[in-house]
Structure 1
Amino acid sequence: MIAAGKPDNEAARQEALLEYQLLDTLPEKEYDAITKLATQVCGAKMSTITLVDNDRQWFKSTYNLAASETIRTEGFCAHCILDPHHPTIVENTLKDERFQGNPFTTGEFANFHFYAGVPLLSTEGLPVGTLCVLDDRPRSLSPEQQESLEALANQVVQLMELRKKVFQYQESEEQLKRINQNLEDFSYIVSHDIKSPLNSITQMVEAFVEDTECTWSTESQSCLDLIRDSATGLEQMIDNILKYSKAVNYLESDRKLIDLNTFLPGIVRSINTSPQVQIVISPDLPSVFSSPTALRQIFANLVSNSIKYNDKSEGRIALSCRQMGSEEYKFEVSDNGMGIPKDKLESIFDLFYRVNQSSSCMKHSSGVGLAIVKKLINDLGGRIEVESAVNEGTTFKFYLPSR
């Protein structure tokens, strides 16, 4: 008997095997169905799905075989993985020097006189185990049987990969939960440890300004105004950062059917509109299935931006929505404002980005609103586009799935 050695990439192979988290798991009918089918297709007595561990061969599934594992040095599959790109077919183990004297060939359990195994390869091409059929008499496989065994081995790999993806998804979900918790902790710290001192500063400045017994010089008054404006601006920026950090939580609320004919006017009423700007909402809007909290935040940011950056004496903002086939809805928010230069369009959704920081209307802009909009739309499974011309206006188009 010649015991199978270990391949040069054994460490990487073992790591790939452990990623599937299959060792020592309970039987599963999907794998058992494949071993049963393998024996039927190949006309064999026995079949196993074998994972080659460090010192053992562990059977994820067996057909007509009572064992659950064997020592690796005595195993047939340990030889099979040494040639990962070809099946290992031994028509008569009694005549193969690798298996002469093997306890499963000539010893106490001498009933494995035929072996055919196909390596199970990970996505990196590493052999983690085999699908094999065995018989108690010497024999051979037809080309069709060998092809079928290889196809079944591929099905085993697909099951294993699906399992790995499920675990990866679960790990990602846990990671997202931890991130969300960190964001909540961050929000708490910002709200209590930063905003509270800011509020105190603002209130103290207001008290100084309103103190009728104090006479402030022009320079002192300017300093107080600067402190107040800076504190107010910083407080607004913190509020916007908090909105961005909490944006993902909007999607946790139940999505529901939203009648846009009443929903959009409600949003417009809640915004401080300018008398110079007219907001027009298209009639006969559809009802959409989405997160009302997220959709309200999206429209509030887009409409507020259109108002803030409208430099026309007669400003106009148009809101619309229509269904595009059966798969998605198309929303539009367009205005006739100052517009955005073409070379800035790719950056406007970046966090803290401001188109023209020297502009007077940018003084109280945090560069967070459009980042929130894009984040929410992406998390809802949609996408957003923008078209703009300087001095003519801007149109934001975003698409959300209909279900």
Structure 2
Amino acid sequence: MSIEVGSRSETQRLLTLERYSLADGLSGREGTYYEDLDNLVLLAADVCRVPFAVINIITADQQHQIAARGIEASVCSREDSMCAQVFRYGHTVIVEDCLEDPRFRGNPFVTGEIAEVRFYASTPLITAEGDALGTLCVFDDSPGSITPQQSRSLEILAAQIMDILNLQLRTRELSTALQELRRSNELLAEFAGRVSHDLQGPLTSIRGFAEMLEDDAAIPAGSTSRKYLERIGASAGRMTAMIDELLAFARSNGALRVQPVSLASTVRAVQDDLAAAISAAGAHLEVEEFVGQADPTQLHTLLQNLLQNALNYRHPHRSPRVRISACQTAEDRWCLKFEDNGIGIAPEDRQRVLEPLVRLESNAIAGTGLGLATCNRIAQSHGGFLELAETEGGGLTILACFGSGS
């Protein structure tokens, strides 16, 4: 098998090699990835019936052996490396006797200065972009050969080595991305907190002055001026609520402080916060006790958003009824079930409403479109998910699962 590698420059190849972080050589041998590489090197030696096999990574000036069979993995200069002379050919190289090959007969690995290699075979480790990182190499201190089937097996093992190296690369890139995401979320929460603080002051003043003017007897009841004042107060109230929800959304992916949390105690705290709204709606709540692993503040925010939605989107012809329960679904996973008897959400809209700032056109009730999005992010930050379904008899059922991320 031959792969075109000549079109890629050495500079491009070294940049790719840097992404794979393989130039650390022996010092970078950590984790199960290198155990897998050791096993593949062992298999390569057995398949080719030779005592020695190595995985060589070729840097700008060195050869690093990151796995070896029959010898101790080491580092040598690129100038002394046998594989460095042929790894960019793009195909498997087989030399029955290195003393008879002009490319290798003077090499210190052949002459006895470093080793006494006679039989040599290598196949390149090539990325999807066409960059050769190094080789899978087998050799013996006696002349020899391998069959076409053994050569093909060597190429298959080289492809499996690249699969492992690519998996290691993607895992490291994902880890870096997650770290950057966490940092970004922390900065977002910090920014949202500052903005919220800066906006809350003026809004509080606006509402305060509007209420003072509403109490002014000089402004007649039912007058245009009084109506304008009522609109100012209502608008300021809605903006305050939106700022609070934006802040909760920004903080929903922040650092978790996971601990055992009582569901019943959290619901009681939420009831205290929404006591006036619950009383005005004539709502009835039923909760089953359960203790689950979660961040107490975020669980409170999730339940408060769900209960507020149940009150806001209640059915016009029946009093709101809410049932809250939970159960352990696995050793490291538990699910909270929130059932209401409100107007519900159509199946085709249930996934869409989990996105931020999405409000249904058919819904005339005021809202920010952040409540369910915040709940979804809270569940995801705990390694879980949010699902919506229809309550038996009408209404909305929300399943919030908390997973191993807790």
Does TM-score exceed 0.5, indicating one fold?
A: yes
Q: Answer whether contact 2:281 2:311 (CA < 8 A) is retained.
A: no
* Cα separation, partners in 2 of 1:391 and 1:131, compared to 1, 3 Å: closer
* Cα separation, partners in 2 of 1:194 and 1:213, compared to 1, 3 Å: same
TM-score (normalised: structure 1)? 0.79
Which segments of 5 or more consecutive residues in structure 1 lack a partner in the other structure? Answer: none
Deviation at residue 230 of structure 1 after TM alignment: 1.3
- The 2-side partners of 1:209 and 1:279 are apart by 34
Q: Which residue of 2 aligns with 1:292?
A: 296
Q: Answer whether contact 2:25 2:65 (CA < 8 A) is retained.
A: no
Q: Which of 243, 249, 252 is matched with 1:247 structurally?
A: 252
* Cα separation, partners in 2 of 1:78 and 1:314, compared to 1, 3 Å: same
Corresponding position: 1:401 with 2:403:
yes
- Output one character per residue of 1:104-155: Cα deviation in whole Å (capped at 9) or x when no partner: 5569768333212232244656431113233444223478976886676567
Q: Which residue of 2 aligns with 1:23?
A: 23
Corresponding position: 1:382 with 2:390:
no
Question: SS at the partner of 1:367?
Answer: coil
* Cα separation, partners in 2 of 1:217 and 1:191, compared to 1, 3 Å: same
* Cα separation, partners in 2 of 1:206 and 1:295, compared to 1, 3 Å: same
- Output one character per residue of 1:199-245: Cα deviation in whole Å (capped at 9) or x when no partner: 22222222333344666881222222222221221121111101100
Q: Which residue of 2 aligns with 1:88?
A: 93
Corresponding position: 1:178 with 2:183:
yes
Q: Which residue of 2 aligns with 1:368?
A: 370
**Where do residues 9-158 of structure 1 align in structure 2 (5 Å cutoff)?**
9-10=8-9, 12-27=12-27, 34=38, 37=42, 41=46, 47-54=53-60, 57-60=63-66, 63=71, 68-71=76-79, 75-84=82-91, 87-99=92-104, 105=110, 111-122=116-127, 126-141=131-146, 153=158, 156-157=161-162
- The 1-side partners of 2:137 and 2:59 are apart by 16
* Cα separation, partners in 2 of 1:163 and 1:386, compared to 1, 3 Å: closer
* Cα separation, partners in 2 of 1:243 and 1:164, compared to 1, 3 Å: same
TM-score (normalised: structure 2)? 0.79
**Where do residues 270-349 of structure 1 align in structure 2 (5 Å cutoff)?**
270-272=273-275, 273-274=278-279, 276-283=281-288, 285-310=289-314, 311-324=316-329, 328-349=333-354
Q: Answer whether contact 1:341 1:390 (CA < 8 A) is retained.
A: no
- The 1-side partners of 2:112 and 2:217 are apart by 107
Query: What is the Cα-based RMSD across aligned positions, in Å?
Result: 3.9
User: How many residues are paired up?
Assistant: 390
The one-letter amino acid of 1:76's match is C
Report the more deviating stretch, 49-58 or 181-190. 49-58
Report the more deviating stretch, 135-144 or 12-21. 135-144
- Output one character per residue of 1:355-379: Cα deviation in whole Å (capped at 9) or x when no partner: 35772xx23x211111111111222
- Output one character per residue of 1:188-208: Cα deviation in whole Å (capped at 9) or x when no partner: 331233222222222222233
Deviation at residue 286 of structure 1 after TM alignment: 3.8
The one-letter amino acid of 1:91's match is E
Q: Answer whether contact 1:330 1:400 (CA < 8 A) is retained.
A: yes
Q: Answer whether contact 2:26 2:65 (CA < 8 A) is retained.
A: no
Q: Answer whether contact 1:39 1:45 (CA < 8 A) is retained.
A: no
- Output one character per residue of 1:131-190: Cα deviation in whole Å (capped at 9) or x when no partner: 323344422347897688667656754653454245324422331233023213421331
The one-letter amino acid of 2:308's match is S
